[in-house]
Chain A
Amino acid sequence: MSWRDAGPPAALVVIFVVFAALSSQFRSIDNVQNIMDAAAVLAVVTCGITFVLMMGSIDLSAAGVMGASALTVSLLVANNRNDNDLGILAIGVAVLVGAGFGCVSGLALVFLKVPSFMATLGVSAVGLGVATLMFAGVQPNISDAMLKSWAIERFLGFSHLTWIAAACLVVGWLIQRYTRLGRYAFAIGGAEEVLTLSGVRVQPYKIAVFTLAGAFYGLGGVMVTSQLGAGLVQAGDGYDFSAITAAVVGGTLLTGGRGGVLHSAVGVLLVVVLTNGLVQVGVSPYWQGGVQGLIVVAAVAAAVIPQRRRNQVVK
């Protein structure tokens, strides 16, 4: 086991112990539950983005996709804007909407050969636009009992959202370990040209990975809607960047081929514990994004150092 695999869990333990020592508030049961609840949505989004990062691509579309799926679900379950009451079906539709957006990113990458960071930046804007259209100036408040209960009701001390996130991680791990899609995503990040040389057509898998990631973002949007009790265009604000941070901090390489869902889960806890802990010890919550910015740059730099060469091209 390399330091890269052992590092993030060790860092998580250290950070947890340090904050627990600094703040009695931090080590309370309530706060631990808070941390887990706060980690739930991020975990689901990160789970999706991990597959994209494993391929060596990047996905900046989470914010837009989540906005669109949040509005979709809030307008399809019982709400104050229309008479829809599709219940669980609405959640399925919202996840499909997310998958659709992901599929568009994948298609743009594969067929138009637009680099993924540009394609997903564009898709994110489209998602936000679609969300704004559905929002139409009036906030849809949800009254669907089941969806609302996700964020409120607890099972074994944790909210349903947390359990959903845990289930997503398990599913993500199974996909990564036991499906051709997951293993090929891993392999594409390792040596895409070898796959082609071995007669594997990688394009369908790339599209499928982006679609899968989109589905996870879609579910993330649904979960945010459950937390907020309403569908907001900004439902996914900041999650795109937080998810990249979490995945990278967990040990997934931006160049692809390394890391995975479990790494990302550790990364999510690291990010959430860090931001929660800083707030508990009195740092302004406004710094949250700044801290993430710093650690993502530091984590990428640390990952790059062992493989630096002179004359290397970095874009």
Chain B
Amino acid sequence: MSTPVTTKPAAAPATVKGGPGPAQRLTSYMPLIALAVLLAALTIADPEFLTQRSLTAASRTAAPLIVLAAGATLVVLCGGIDLSIAALASVSTVFLALWLPELGALATPAVILVAAAIGALQGVAHVLLRIPSFIVTLGGMSIFSAVALVVSDAGTVRVVDDSTIAWLDLYVGGYVPMSLTVAVIVVVLISVVLKVTPLHSWISATGYSESAARLAGTPVDLVKIGAFCVSGACAGLAAVMLVSRQFSGSPTMADNLLLPAVAAIVVGGTAITGGHGSVWRSLAGALVVTLLRVGLPIVGVPSAYEQILYGAIIVAAVALTLDRSKVLIIK
């Protein structure tokens, strides 16, 4: 159909408001600034820090965190939250350790697929039952922990033959840990897929304004389920990384990664209200969190402060990046 529309221009003002304010610009570079400042501070505090060995160690710690945060970022971009990622990763480490002897190389994809399916299931529960995402994933968290405890009989499952996952411990070019490379590949993959397909529009629209997205015919429900599915898959991949490093699976192995992962997402500048943000930001956020983690002992702060720092960071970063215009009443 050709629509012969030739409306004459009217004397309407072209634009109303100006561009982003200085505060907005500052927060959008926040993760990079924080990263630079931290690196500089740590180097001053300990000149040894900028050596290949300690950087390698830091980046190996960062890899599972990056993957976890990248997956959960998609859920946050849709306007929800996934509190189950750490527990899902923990139960995945148990599955992997149990399945490795029998499935061998197939255990890795199997674990990732199962984790993806579990994530999707949470998404379906959220969408179909109309339960807020934080309560679905909070419920999921305790269910996964229970399953992990039962399956592992509340103990560590040792991996005797890790030959099929040992490749994650290799180094690319002799310096860059394979796990970090994989983590970066995941981030690149997600962001490229989003960029070249309509998915980016759909996710942003869902996150910024779900009702507008729905009334524009966006597949809001599918997008959300997909986000939870990817988040689950990433938790599975993070579990593989953890097992390859620890040579074992345990029902609580990844539990302490929930706060750092949430902190990474919000420090990166992804708004908890949805829409605004990216997986790249979460990568930067994860690096910031990792530097804080390895840096605290270097500057002589007891590691007990780590938790306090995460808590403070989460509150502060959410406060800075929140889209206040969207929520009139904040509960």
Contacts and interface: CB of A to CB of B under 8 A. Distances in A.
Contacts of A115: 272, 318, 322, 327, 330-331
B262 to A, nearest CB: 7
B77 to A, nearest CB: 12
Residue from A57, A121, A122, A254 whose CB has the most chain B CB atoms within 10 Å: A122
The interface centre, meaning the residue of B130, B136, B310, B322 with most chain A CB atoms within 10 A of its CB, is B130
B149 interface: yes
Interface string A272-299: 0000000000001011111111101100
Contacts of A315: 79-80, 132-133, 210, 274
Given A118-B318, A132-B304, A296-B138, A113 B331 contact: no
30 contacts: A56-B331, A57-B331, A64-B311, A108-B319, A112-B319, A113-B319, A113-B324, A116-B331, A117-B81, A122-B314, A122-B315, A123-B315, A125-B314, A126-B311, A126-B312, A129-B308, A129-B310, A133-B308, A290-B147, A290-B150, A292-B139, A293-B140, A293-B146, A297-B129, A297-B135, A297-B139, A300-B135, A314-B130, A315-B80, A315-B132
Interface stretch (A169-177, A217-225, A305-313): A305-313
B330 A125 contact: no
Contacts of B302: 133
Nearest to B319: A112
Contacts, number: 164
A128 interface: yes
Interface of A: 55-58, 60, 64, 108-109, 112-119, 121-130, 132-133, 135, 192-193, 238, 241, 244, 254, 256, 284, 286-294, 296-297, 300-301, 304, 308, 311-315
Nearest to B149: A286
Q: For B146, B305, B324, which residue has the most chain A Cβ atoms within 10 angstroms?
A: B146
A127 B322 CA distance: 24
B57 to A, nearest CB: 23
Interface of B: 79-81, 125-126, 129-136, 138-143, 145-147, 149-150, 154, 210-211, 214-215, 259, 262, 266, 272, 274, 302, 304-316, 318-319, 322, 324, 327-331
B139 A293 contact: yes
A125 B331 contact: no
> Taking chain A's interface residues, is the majority helix, strand, or loop, or is none over half, making it mixed?
helix
B280 to A, nearest CB: 22
B149 to A, nearest CB: 4
Contacts of B322: 113-115
Nearest to B260: A125
A242 B262 CA distance: 22
Contacts of B331: 55-58, 115-116, 256
Contacts of B134: 58, 117
Contacts of A121: 259, 262, 311, 314
Nearest to A130: B308
Contacts of B129: 297, 300-301, 304
Nearest to A127: B311
A133 B139 contact: no
